A = this chain, B = another copy of it.
């Protein structure tokens, strides 16, 4: 779980949190500056250089990947006049998706879902976006390649993104993050299908563990998607001049997608909710079958074992005991008894 309390209780708000150990502080700044005519692209630039582009005409996109770097943060803060709590939110790893509209900036936090192929787990990273009049600053906590296609579209000279402003770029970033949800949703959907199959045919304790694991993934999805809907809805309804009229239509489209994601996830909950009961049914069903085997065996052998007991008694006088066909008669009787038992169970469809 991502909790905001990695700090000890009582630390002053707005103070930078410690970097969790083991995460090396690689911190890469890339920059794209474009308008419908020109394009400049730079990777791994110092932050000061980025500021020069702000005065030029066109959109400046500063993308910062990695954990926070104290010095850079403070420079950013000075240039853009960011509130200390905003800086804390950006540096934090567990913030809830939210949107804050200021007079000249819109600040958005989202959660990017990723499928960690090694650990076979869904992981979520924080993405922070600052939308200004002619710039967008995006913070990705982990390099994830998710923004490559957007860069590609900017590089092509006659795409829509080149002719539109910073609000459209922000939309494109949100759209990309929301599209990612559907990759995870598709994955969960497949897993649920497999689990259902498994439940019906060879359910075991492992199935139970898998169900629990999928449920946890769904919880991560829910925690990411529900507040995203709220964020996108507010972004759609914002009256800030930073978001132009014609962008609303695009944002509306992302909004519809978040709704679709939510509907899918809620549908999953229903399905996953019923799985434990199916598992229980399956176990009971198997118990039934085990018990049928036991009952059949006991019922077939109990009477004939009894019969052997009868002629095993040591009474001096027993009917047929000395008759030459006595043994075979007894054997025949046993055969009849056990045979009729088996026929009876066959009719009851137990065997």
Q: Which residues of A approach B to under 8 Å, CB–CB?
A: 1, 3-5, 7-14, 83-85, 89, 95-96, 98, 100, 146-150, 152-153, 159-161, 172, 175-176, 179-180, 182-183, 185-186, 189, 196, 200, 205, 208-209, 212, 215, 219, 222-223, 249-250, 252-253, 256-257, 259-260, 263-264, 267, 270-271, 274, 276-281, 283-288, 290-295, 297-306, 308-324, 326-327, 330-331, 350
Contact = CB atoms under 8 A, between A and B. Distances in A.
Contacts of A300: 302
Given A12-B159, A83-B249, A276-B278, A294 B284 contact: no
A281 B280 contact: yes
Contacts of A317: 322-324, 326-327
13 contacts: A4-B257, A4-B260, A12-B159, A83-B249, A96-B263, A280-B280, A280-B284, A291-B291, A297-B302, A305-B309, A313-B314, A316-B324, A317-B323
Contacts of A152: 10
Contact of A306 (B7, B84, B256, B304): B304
B215 A161 contact: no
Contact of A286 (B148, B186, B288): B288
Contacts of A309: 305, 308-309, 312
B287 A291 contact: yes
Contacts of A305: 301-302, 305-306, 309
A279 B244 CA distance: 55
A77 to B, nearest CB: 14
A277 B274 CA distance: 10
A315 B327 contact: yes
B312 A316 contact: no
Nearest to A284: B283
A247 to B, nearest CB: 11
Contacts of A297: 295, 298-299, 302
